[in-house]
Structure formats: C-alpha cells, structure tokens
Amino acid sequence: MKKIIYGKAFVLGNNIDTDQIIPAEHLVYSLTDEDEAKKYGHFALSGVPVSQSGLPKGSIPFIDDDEYKSIFNIIIGGTNFGCGSSREHAPFALQKAGVQAIIAESYARIFYRNSVDGGFLVPYESTEKLIDKIKTGDLLEIDLENNSLKNITENLLYNLKPLGDVLPIIQEGGLFKYARKTGMII
C-alpha cells in the first residue's frame, strides 16, 4: 500500500449505517465472483438519504448510474460511522466502489473491525469535526506515516489519530493474510 492516499472527498453526516452503505436488497450478489462483486460498488451508499449526506438536493451522486466505481475515493464522515448490522458487506462495497480510506469522528466498532480484518480500507479517526470543514469534491492527501490529512483545495492540514497496529493488517490485505505472513498461523 502507498504511504500517501490522494483523491477526492465525499462528505457524509453522522450515524451512516450499514443499510445506507449497502442496502439489504443488494446483498444477493456473490462476494467472490468478480462480475457479481462489482455490483456492490455500484450500489455503495445508495441508501443514504440526501438529508444525511451533507449534500444539497441535486448534488453529485456517489456513483454515476452506469458505473461501478466512484470518482470519490476518500469518505469524510461524522460520528458513529458504520452503525447498524455487523455485515462485512459494508466496507467491502465501499472498497469495490474505489474507496481507499474513511476519516470519521468515530466508528461503530464492528464496522471498524470489518474494515481492518478484511483489509478493505483505511479507517482513520479525526481529531476534530471535519464534515463542516471539507466539501465534497475537495482534493485531499492522507499521509499514512505522519497521520495527517491535507486539504489541497483549501491548503489546510489536519491531524489524524494514529492507526497503530492496524495499519500493517490493512496493508497486508486483511487479518488472515497478515497472520500467515507473520507466522501466527500456517
């Protein structure tokens, strides 16, 4: 994994739950068949009402109608990101949509663990409320070594809480791959 994640922000609000990230009616696709798995990316964030997205009506959608990948690869969230059910489909869907990192004020524990355990994306916690400071479409740069976020559009720098021991797990592609590489399991 790169030491810098660069891309466009998609800003969401508080309490974005797993049914908003990937609605239950779209859980019918295979996670292992690539033709079906990409549909998780197509339907990622399709359950988020405009009132919770932090976007005004008529704003840019997360995924265009016929696409499977988003132009936004960094999500900025508020508190309790990923609350709801324990399904690992939520971080998987965001990864399939091209999301590399989420920066939120706080996470539902199971969403955070699923993100790390599956090696799906980098779940950073912010040290301050960013959903009012960053706008959808802003160009961002996350420095994984220095735990910082630069809003290139606004030329502002923010500190992020260190990832600690979870970064090597994510970089290896998930908990089982990390455990095999480090000799924890054979």
Residue partners of 104: CB distance under 8 A and separation at least 6: 75, 76, 77, 78, 79, 81, 123, 124, 125, 126
The domain that holds 161 is classified in CATH as 3.20.19.10
- Any domain includes 186: no
What's the whole-model pTM score?
0.92
Above 70 in pLDDT, residue 57? no
- Any domain includes 97: yes
* Exposure b/e, 81-90, CB count within 10 A at least 16 = b: bbbbbebbbb
- When pLDDT is cut at 50, 70 and 90, the band that residue 50 belongs to is low
- Any domain includes 52: yes
CB 55 within 8 A of CB 16: no
State the total domains in the chain: 1
- Any domain includes 128: yes
Residue 118 gets which letter from DSSP?
A: T
Q: Containing domain of residue 125, as a range?
A: 4-181
Percent of all residues in the chain with a pLDDT value above 90, rounded to a whole number: 81
